[in-house]
Amino acid sequence: MARPGRSRVSSMTGMGGVLRYSAVVLGAGGVGKSALVMRYGKNVFLEQYDPTIEEEYDLTVEYEGKRSRLEIVDTAGVEQFTGINESYIQRGMGFVLVFSLTQEASLRDVDHIRQQIYRIKGGEEDVPIVVVGTKMDLTGEREVSSQQMKELAVEWGLPFYETSAKKGWHVNEVFNHLLARMRKRYPDGMPKGHRHRRKDGQCVIM
């Protein structure tokens, strides 16, 4: 798998001709979804987070010489198997499926979510999905091996990444790869009127 380059997140808005893409971050509670998104969007490490909050981030990203608007929905982990989650999947264009390298059970949750995505998307095999193992810096607590991830990457036909939001390791690569897959799958970007609805109190990074 080719290693995607770095992206740059900027504050520029209102640019004509820039295509918009929506990404949904899914996974069990406590696996580090929000820390991953915050490291990417603001380059900070989130020590504490309210797991019941859903947040939406609106970023302008420059990658491979092109700018895109990337809407990232960071879902609450307690919702991953509910009807609310089905709405996210129906409207999402790409998905980051997150598990913790220190918790093998969270990888089984990701498998369940992966199957749910294919079911809701009508069995589409080219749905843009990237699978992410977090907390790779906690080597002494690790329960999921790199070999296990390599085998699943072949079995599922999906890219896997090991990351550390705390250290900033490989976080940009995750979203760059997903953006590249979304650009290929949806060359015209997000259809008009096809946006996630924000709730009061959600954070939008511009």
Pairwise CA distance, residues 9 & 189, whole Å: 18
Residues 6+ apart with CB under 8 A from 204: 56, 57, 58, 198
The residue count for the chain: 206
Is the pLDDT at 117 greater than 50? The verdict is yes
83 belongs to a structural domain: yes
Q: How many CB atoms lie within 10 A of CB 140?
A: 6
Residue 18 three-state SS: coil
Tell me whether residue 156 is in a domain: yes
Q: Is residue 161 part of a domain?
A: yes
Q: Considering the domain boundaries, does residue 178 fall inside one? A: no
Extract the tokens encoding 98. 């997150």
CATH number (domain holding residue 153): 3.40.50.300
pLDDT-derived band at 195 (thresholds 50, 70, 90) equals low
CB-neighbour burial class of residue 52 (10 A; exposed 0-12, middle 13-18, buried 19+) = exposed
Residue 14: inside a domain, yes or no? Answer: yes
Structure tokens, 3? 């290693």
Q: Is pLDDT of 102 > 70? A: yes
Q: pLDDT grade, residue 139 (50/70/90)?
A: very high
**Global pTM exceeds 0.95:** no
Q: Specify the number of domains making up the chain.
A: 1
Print the domain residue range for 151.
8-166
State residue 10's pLDDT score: 44
Helix axes 104-120, 83-91, angle to 10 degrees: 60
Q: Would you say residue 21 lies in a domain?
A: yes
